[in-house]
Structure 1
Amino acid sequence: MTEPSPTKATSPQRGTAVITGAGSRRGIGARTAARLAAAGWNLGLIDVDGPAVKELAGQLSADFGVQAAGTGCDISDEADVDSAFRIFEEELPPVQAVVNIAGISSPKTFLELDLATWERVLRVNATGTFLITQRAMAGMIERGYGRVVNLGSTAMQNGGGTFSKSSYAASKGAVEAFSRAIALETAQYGVTVNVIAPAIIDTDIMGGPITEERKPAFLAQLPVGRLGTTTEVAALIEFLIGEDAGYITGSTYNINGGLRIG
């Protein structure tokens, strides 16, 4: 595309927030979608589970009076990503925010890790974030306003977690480096790009629900003495995609219960 001219960000009417990984009702994506719908955001919801996000979109539209569409999409597939955005462009107001939450993990240690698992985790988490963000970016730059929030992880900072291991940590390292690079490239066009790095949140990416039997191993790492909630992460996302966060870009926000300080 033609290189755009720098544009001063304005304060547009609330448009559409695209959220990936919104299919699991226990997940950060679904919680974020509900919070943003309550705040008046229109929603483009993406997940490999198409029926789940279509159902959620219909529910949130009925509950909050916003426009919402959900579609099944493999975020690691460029054609799938383009198809999803074509639906949103036909049915919804312009995209003003992208929240990249979809991801997969692996508990395999480095010596157990096979190439197929390594490449799958990197492709979904890192390449998927790239494809979604790039597909939305041209429109945001053209309009002179945009917000991108990508999900990193404390596992990247600590070299792994209680459940996730090297492939996941590496993929989230790629996400964070990518986010800083495009934050620098797009700031002049009114677009901000930031990372949220959660620690232990009770979602399905932790290998299923954190049961009472599993909980002590997780709590032992957390100075605050409890698990984080999807609501807490969604609240931070809502702030970072809002107008008040326009002077923040290229930053990583740790939301980790004290697991990592600094």
Structure 2
Amino acid sequence: MFKVNFDNRVALITGAASEKGIGREIARQLAKRGALVVLSDINEEGLAVAVQEIQDLGGKAASVILNVTDRNQVNQQVAEIVKEYGKIDILINNAGVTRPTRVLDIEEKEWDFIFDINMKGTFFLTQEVLRYMKEKNYGRIVNLGSVSGKRGGGIFGGSHYSAAKAAVTGFSKAVAREMAPFGITCNTVEPGLIGTEITGGLLTEEKKEVLKNDIPVGRIGTVADVAYTIAFLASENASYITGEEIDINGGSHID
């Protein structure tokens, strides 16, 4: 029987504090399957709730306050995690942010804000964690892209968000090529419209109904839809998959 198992694995998930977010659901799914999950975010209160929830369900969880755009903080916290638990086997770069700003209205400060969190944060975490994964000759990295990075927005993400997510995908492919000889895989998942707190604040019920008509499976995606795919890619069963971009969009974008 096929089974995804993370016993004795240590996983770091960024952007994991949001109650209805993808990051927290990823943490739940990995912990449910035996991983020791380290949740990171800038939201200390949300992290505490998330860790307690996982522990109440019998999982192993810890947390670190982490601003993914702060290089020194990233390096320090990654080193602390490795010191405490001996390794990081799995890295999920989930932290991200979007804005619906039109291209003619985007100011440089907002462009940098979107790129710093979505792309630079992914780079900082990946680069630092890879140093430790390479020593162990093992690692699984899954980065969060977006359908917006493939089709150029179209829902509510601006051109800066589309560009940043496209950059994440290209970065992941290059990492996959470089790190494959060391037993490390790097893949990207490209979610479509997912019912998170971010989309909930930007979509009216009427808008949701309109968007659902463009999704062949007839519904908006759930955080579990994304987390299940990531759990597989983060497992030993996916050792022959690297450099790939996996679409999770109900058929709304097929290529």
Establish whether TM, by shorter chain, passes 0.5: yes
**Deviation string, structure 1 residues 63-82 (Cα, Å, up to 9, x no partner):** 2242x211221101112212
Structure 1 unmatched runs, 5+: 1-10
Large movers: runs of 4+ above 4 Å: none
- Which of 24, 27, 42 in structure 2 is aligned with 1:30? 24
CA distance in 2, matches of 1:62, 1:24: 18
User: Which residue type is aligned with residue 103 of structure 1?
Assistant: G
Paired residue secondary structure (1:214): helix
**Distance (Å, rounded) in 2 between the aligned partners of 1:27 and 1:233:** 11
Residue 21 (1) aligns with residue 18 (2): no
Distance 2:253 2:29 in 1: 27
| Counterpart secondary structure, 2:205 | coil
In structure 1, distance between residues paired with 2:148 and 2:235: 27
| Contact persistence 1:42–1:92 (CA under 8 A) | no
1:45 and 2:55 correspond:
no
Check 1:161–1:87 CA distance in 2 against 1; reply closer, same or farther (3 A cut): farther
For 2:23, give the aligned amino acid: G
In 1, the alpha carbon distance for the partners of 2:75 and 2:38 equals: 13
For these two proteins, the number of residue pairs brought into alignment is 251
Name the SS for the 1:163 alignment partner: coil
Residues 183-212 of structure 1: per-residue CA shift (max 9 Å, x gap): 000000000000000000011232627442
Which of residues 155, 175, 186 is equivalent to 1:182? Answer: 175
CA–CA distance in structure 2, aligned partners of residues 82 and 225 of structure 1:
43
Counterparts of 1:57 and 1:245, CA distance in 2:
27
* TM-score, normalised relative to structure 1: 0.91
Using structure 2 for the length normalisation, give the TM-score: 0.93
> Quick one: structure 1 residues 109 and 88, their matched pair in 2 at CA, closer, same or farther if it must change by over 3 Å?
same
Q: What is aligned with 2:252?
A: 259
- Aligned partner of 1:56: which letter? A
The Cα of 1:83 is off from its aligned counterpart by: 2.9
Matched, 1:234 2:227: yes
The answer to whether the 8 Å contact 2:13/2:93 transfers is: yes
Q: What is residue 146 of structure 1 aligned with on the other side?
A: 139
Amino acid at match of 2:102: T
The answer on whether the counterparts of 1:54 and 1:71 sit within 8 Å (CA) in structure 2 is no
Distance in 2, matches of 1:12 and 1:53, equals 21
**Does the CA-based 8 Å contact 2:93-2:144 persist in structure 1?**
yes
Which residue is equivalent to 2:158? Answer: 165
5+ unaligned residues in a row in structure 2: which ranges?
A: none
Q: What is the rounded CA distance, in whole Å, between the counterparts of 2:115 and 2:85 in structure 1?
A: 30
Partner of 2:185: 192
Equivalent position SS for 2:38: strand
